[in-house]
């Protein structure tokens, strides 16, 4: 299959000496044809190998075979084919070597290089006879790049499916959050009023228990909204190393002595634009998962480093662009996670822990926070070899600062007493409106209520001169809260307005001042928060 130039020159010389001159042009033409054929075979990108059926030993190969497999030609010649082909290919080869075996076949399998590396390949086999001997010819194509492209495509599809699942959860969570928090507001408000009016010590403990339960329920809704990326985050330039170092120092107090810690943080790491509380939440959630996985013994490795993603690297991730990123890795030497579980590991409420041991919101919260920060998170795990989570956060550009929320300044010496205030409460939930009125009236306010945006506007048109402040719900049917606020401000631009909602996806919830509101109250709110917010706004 590969005649050298010296061999051809010897053959040509032999032809000149032993062949009649009348045959010399024909012999020369044959030699040129052989040279041309030899050049084609050696320039082929496919791997060509020829082996004798009798003993499976390689008798010839082309240059591509040597280059791809990492053998020199003299090393490859004489090897048995089971040294360079996987068992699947060998099974087919042995069937074809039999006298009555098939003469032609193709199979997907693997090549094995000189270093032991496996190379995915498409192999076409053909049995031929030459000079009374039987040979197998292997025409093999390296499909590593194609396989990698398929893997990348599958990974991107999984990332897209995960994003779509989280989007669905977000839509669902956002949809129920307002109504659920309204119910919690009613429960919490009544409990607080009962606590204010009740003086019996026997009932006080039960009242506090119900109040704590409503707070836990409210936090659960908030976690759902975090997963759906509907919660406002306060971002600033920060060094991730500082967050990791401080949070892990707190966690180490709870770590059993049999668990070793290996923390390697790259010095002089550039800042990222992030919410410090949410970054702490990521570290704590990952640490909690690792502690559970290690079951009292093993090792946790935490590291950071600066990486630069080239276009071909960024293409592997659905949500990243080329550029500089801080990579945060969190690994444990636990039992590992199966591929089946990895496919669902970031799904909300999915957990492999025993009942009562976990909510299934830890890793989904990590996923949501990373995404909200313009980053990416991946899980790498093999059964028996531990688990690694890798997160990528974009490095903040010089001069980039987050928008800062400006709250109304409060001068304690100039607080206007609530006894002098007239408040218009606009809320379609009558029980919430009644509770709010009761709280404010107990503080000396004059309260006017409206059950819809339309009714609130009508009242305000007639009495806006006597109304000091408007508290309105954003999630009302008909004329919604934002439209109602706009109409109220047209009637009284200098008026004081507080908006409230159990759903934090509204833009106005993140930046109330930008829309003309003085403050935002998240439902369910405590009576003390309601009163202090109104006082602050009235004193501004």
3-state DSSP helix/strand/coil percent for the chain, to nearest 5?
Answer: 45, 20, 30
pLDDT band at 528 (very low <50, low <70, confident <90, very high): confident
pLDDT at 403: 39
Taking the C-alpha atoms of residue 242 and residue 266, their distance in angstroms, rounded to an integer, is 11
Give the DSSP H/E element, type plus range, for residue 332. strand 323-332
The answer, yes or no, to whether residue 131 has pLDDT greater than 50, is yes
C-alpha to C-alpha distances, 28 to 7, 35, 463, nearest whole angstrom: 14, 11, 112
Q: 436-461: b or e for each residue (b if 16 or more CB lie within 10 Å)? A: bbebbeebebbbbbbebbbbbbebbe
User: What is the CA angle 242-335-248, rounded to 5?
Assistant: 15
The alpha carbon of 522 is separated from its chain's Cα centroid by a whole number of angstroms, namely 28
The answer, yes or no, to whether residue 529 has pLDDT greater than 90, is no
Q: Which of 284, 271, 279, 386 is nearest to 334 (CA)?
A: 386
pLDDT at 527: 79
Q: How many CB atoms lie within 10 A of CB 220?
A: 14
Mean pLDDT for all residues in the chain? 79
User: What is the CA angle 521-525-531, rounded to 5?
Assistant: 75
pLDDT at 244: 92
pLDDT at 402: 41
| The most confident of 170-179, 198-207, 516-525, by mean pLDDT | 516-525
Mean pLDDT of 226-239: 68
Share of the chain above pLDDT 70, in %: 76
Higher-scoring residue by pLDDT: 162, 385: 385
| The most confident of 278-282, 391-395, 426-430, 516-520, by mean pLDDT | 391-395
The answer, yes or no, to whether residue 237 has pLDDT greater than 70, is yes
Mean pLDDT of 191-195: 72
pLDDT at 350: 64
Per the CB < 8 A criterion, the answer to whether 90 and 110 are in contact is no
Per the CB < 8 A criterion, the answer to whether 69 and 76 are in contact is yes
Mean pLDDT of 370-384: 89
Mean pLDDT of 71-100: 86
E strand spans, 113-230: 118-130, 133-142
Q: Which residues contact 415 (CB under 8 A, 6 or more apart)?
A: 535, 538, 539
DSSP state, residue 271: P
- 393 pairs with which residues across the strands? 326
pLDDT at 413: 34
pLDDT at 331: 94
Taking the C-alpha atoms of residue 317 and residue 375, their distance in angstroms, rounded to an integer, is 10
pLDDT tens per residue, range 338-349? 888 887 777 766
Higher-scoring residue by pLDDT: 104, 470: 470
Give the DSSP H/E element, type plus range, for residue 368. helix 362-372
* DSSP string computed for 390-431: EEEEEBPPTT--PPPP-PPP--GGGPPPGGG-EEEEE-S-HH
Lowest mean pLDDT among 6-20, 156-170, 233-247, 328-342: 6-20
pLDDT at 231: 54
Mean pLDDT of 373-379: 89
The answer, yes or no, to whether residue 416 has pLDDT greater than 60, is no
Q: Which of 225, 240, 159 is nearest to 368 (CA)?
A: 225
Share of the chain above pLDDT 90, in %: 21
Determine whether 481 is exposed, middle or buried from the number of CB atoms within 10 Å of its CB (0-12, 13-18, 19+). Answer: buried
pLDDT at 198: 66
Higher-scoring residue by pLDDT: 522, 461: 461
pLDDT at 162: 64
The answer, yes or no, to whether residue 253 has pLDDT greater than 70, is no
| The most confident of 63-72, 152-161, 215-224, by mean pLDDT | 63-72
C-alpha to C-alpha distances, 350 to 214, 238, 335, 417, nearest whole angstrom: 24, 32, 18, 50
Higher-scoring residue by pLDDT: 185, 168: 185
Kindly list the structural domains of the chain, giving each domain's residue range(s) and its CATH number in brackets, ordered by start: 5-146 (3.30.450.20), 153-227 (1.10.287), 236-394 (3.30.565.10), 412-539 (3.40.50.2300)
Lowest mean pLDDT among 138-147, 189-198, 286-295, 460-469: 189-198
pLDDT tens per residue, range 257-294? 788 889 999 999 999 999 887 888 889 889 888 888 88
Q: Which residues contact 256 (CB under 8 A, 6 or more apart)?
A: 296, 297
Give the DSSP H/E element, type plus range, for residue 28. helix 24-43
pLDDT at 460: 94
Taking the C-alpha atoms of residue 457 and residue 35, their distance in angstroms, rounded to an integer, is 94
Mean pLDDT of 458-477: 91
The answer, yes or no, to whether residue 44 has pLDDT greater than 60, is yes
Taking the C-alpha atoms of residue 430 and residue 185, their distance in angstroms, rounded to an integer, is 12
| The most confident of 92-106, 305-319, 385-399, by mean pLDDT | 385-399
C-alpha to C-alpha distances, 463 to 448, 492, 530, nearest whole angstrom: 10, 11, 23
């Amino acid at each position: 299959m590969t005649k050298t130039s010296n061999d051809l020159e010897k053959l040509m010389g032999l032809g000149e000496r032993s062949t009649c001159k009348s045959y010399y042009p024909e012999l020369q033409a044959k030699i040129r044809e052989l040279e041309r054929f030899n050049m084609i075979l050696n320039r082929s990108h496919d791997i060509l190998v020829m082996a004798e059926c009798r003993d499976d030993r390689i008798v010839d190969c082309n240059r591509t075979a040597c280059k791809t497999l990492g053998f020199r030609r003299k090393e490859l010649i004489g090897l048995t084919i089971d040294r360079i082909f996987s068992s699947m290919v060998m099974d087919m080869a042995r069937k074809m070597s039999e006298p009555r075996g098939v003469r032609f076949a193709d199979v997907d399998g693997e090549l094995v290089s000189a270093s032991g590396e496996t190379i995915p390949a498409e192999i076409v086999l053909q049995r031929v006879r030459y000079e009374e001997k039987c040979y197998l010819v292997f025409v093999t194509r390296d499909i590593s790049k194609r396989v990698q492209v398929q893997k990348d495509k599958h990974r991107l599809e999984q990332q897209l499916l995960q994003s779509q699942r989280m989007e669905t959860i977000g839509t669902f969570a956002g949809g129920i959050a307002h109504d659920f928090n309204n119910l919690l507001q009613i429960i919490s408000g009544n409990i607080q009023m009962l606590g204010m009016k009740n003086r019996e010590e026997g009932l006080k403990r039960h009242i506090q228990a119900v109040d704590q339960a409503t707070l836990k329920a409210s936090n659960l809704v908030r976690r759902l909204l975090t997963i759906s990326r509907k919660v406002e985050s306060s971002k600033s330039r920060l060094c991730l190393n500082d967050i990791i170092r401080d949070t892990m120092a707190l966690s180490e107090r709870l770590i059993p002595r049999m668990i070793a810690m290996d923390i390697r943080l790259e010095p002089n790491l550039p800042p990222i634009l992030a919410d410090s509380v949410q970054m702490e939440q990521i570290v704590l959630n990952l640490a909690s998962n690792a502690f559970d996985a290690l079951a009292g013994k093993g090792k946790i490795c935490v590291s950071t480093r600066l990486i630069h993603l080239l276009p071909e690297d960024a293409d592997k991730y659905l949500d990243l662009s080329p550029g500089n990123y801080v990579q945060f890795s969190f690994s444990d030497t636990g039992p590992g996670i199966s591929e089946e579980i990895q496919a669902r590991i970031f799904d909300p409420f999915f957990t492999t822990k025993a009942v009562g041991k976990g909510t299934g919101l830890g890793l989904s919260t990590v996923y949501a926070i990373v995404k909200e920060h313009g980053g990416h998170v991946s899980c790498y795990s093999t059964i028996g070899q531990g688990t690694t989570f890798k997160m990528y956060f974009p490095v903040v550009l010089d001069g980039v600062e987050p928008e800062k929320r400006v709250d109304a300044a409060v001068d304690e010496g100039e607080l206007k007493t609530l006894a002098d205030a007239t408040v218009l409460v606009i809320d379609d939930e009558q029980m919430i409106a009644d509770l709010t009125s009761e709280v404010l009236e107990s503080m000396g306010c004059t309260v006017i209520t409206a059950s819809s945006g339309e009714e609130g506007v009508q009242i305000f048109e007639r009495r806006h001169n006597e109304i000091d402040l408007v508290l309105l719900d954003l999630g009302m049917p008909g004329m919604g809260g934002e439209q109602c606020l706009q109409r109220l401000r047209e009637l009284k631009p200098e008026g004081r307005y507080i908006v409230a909602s159990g759903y934090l996806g509204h833009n106005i919830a993140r930046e109330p001042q930008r829309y003309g509101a003085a403050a935002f109250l998240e439902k369910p709110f405590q009576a003390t928060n309601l009163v202090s917010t109104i006082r602050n706004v009235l004193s501004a």
